[in-house]
Structure formats: structure tokens, C-alpha cells
């Protein structure tokens, strides 16, 4: 049905019914039974897929998630020597850091150490 293929009618043992040896009425009844079984199976699979989708949506809806995009433009700090800027997400209720660190090495002249990344200092915390 899904692929628009012909339905092969089989007996109880799974053998293909031979139209030369089987009566027309028997073939018709076997075809009706097979069609109903295919329809039931399709409905079953659709309902299972819908249940899985609903469960997945409920799971994701119950778990709030956020993403924080950081684009570092400049660091203003007059220390006169090279520095490292370390960023991470901190949970004050749990008193712990719950993300990976993002480290930028900053030179004493006010630019990133890796000058190729001058306007490309970005991080996404999820």
C-alpha cells in the first residue's frame, strides 16, 4: 500500500496461493483478509510512531534548555602583560560550573594572541 506494490495473497502457512488451483472466491476472501491485515499493521505502526513522537515532545518540553552565544569583541584591562580570559557558565544555586571552559589568550597590547581570530572569538554554551 505504501509503495503501491501488488499484494501477494498467501495461505495460513505463508505459501503463495496459486490462482490456477485456487477458486476465485477463495482468492477474493484471502485477498480481503490480507488487505485488512496490512491496513491494521499500518494503523498500528502509525499509532506507535505518534506515541513515540508525543513522548519525545513531552520529554523535551519538560526539560528546558537554553543556548548562550558569546561573541568576544574586546577586553579592557590595564595590567601591562599577557592575560587569559576564561569563560564558563556557573550555577549559583548548586555552586558549580556546569559548562566547558572557553579560553582566550589576550596580549599586553590589547589584542588576542592569535591575531587570525581577531573578529572571530565566538562560543556557544548549551
Domain hosting 51: range is 1-64
Does 77 share its domain with 91?
A: yes
pLDDT tens for the chain, 126 residues long, are: 566 667 788 888 888 888 888 888 888 888 888 888 888 988 888 888 888 877 777 777 666 678 889 998 888 877 788 888 899 998 888 899 988 899 988 888 877 888 777 788 898 987
Q: Give backbone dihedrals phi and psi of 71, rounded to 5 degrees, phi first.
A: -125, 105
Overall domain count for the chain: 2
Does 1 share its domain with 60?
A: yes
Q: What pLDDT, on a 0 to 100 scale, did the predictor assign at position 69?
A: 92
Q: Is 99 left (phi over 0), alpha (psi -120 to 50) or beta?
A: beta
Q: What pLDDT, on a 0 to 100 scale, did the predictor assign at position 1?
A: 56
Does 3 share its domain with 51?
A: yes
Name the domain boundary from 49, 64, 79. 64
Q: What pLDDT, on a 0 to 100 scale, did the predictor assign at position 49?
A: 84
Amino acid at each position: 500500500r505504501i509503495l503501491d506494490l501488488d499484494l501477494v495473497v498467501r495461505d495460513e502457512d505463508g505459501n503463495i496461493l496459486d490462482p490456477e488451483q485456487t477458486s476465485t472466491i477463495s482468492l477474493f476472501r484471502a485477498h480481503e483478509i490480507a488487505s485488512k491485515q496490512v491496513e491494521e499493521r499500518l494503523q498500528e505502526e502509525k499509532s506507535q510512531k505518534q506515541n513515540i513522537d508525543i513522548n519525545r515532545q513531552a520529554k523535551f518540553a519538560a526539560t528546558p534548555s537554553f543556548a548562550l552565544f558569546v561573541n568576544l569583541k574586546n577586553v579592557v584591562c590595564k595590567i601591562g602583560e599577557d592575560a587569559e580570559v576564561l569563560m564558563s557558565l556557573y550555577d549559583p544555586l548548586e555552586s558549580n560550573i556546569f559548562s566547558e571552559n572557553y579560553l582566550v589568550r589576550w596580549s599586553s597590547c590589547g589584542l588576542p594572541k592569535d591575531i587570525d581570530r581577531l573578529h572571530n572569538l565566538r562560543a556557544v554554551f548549551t
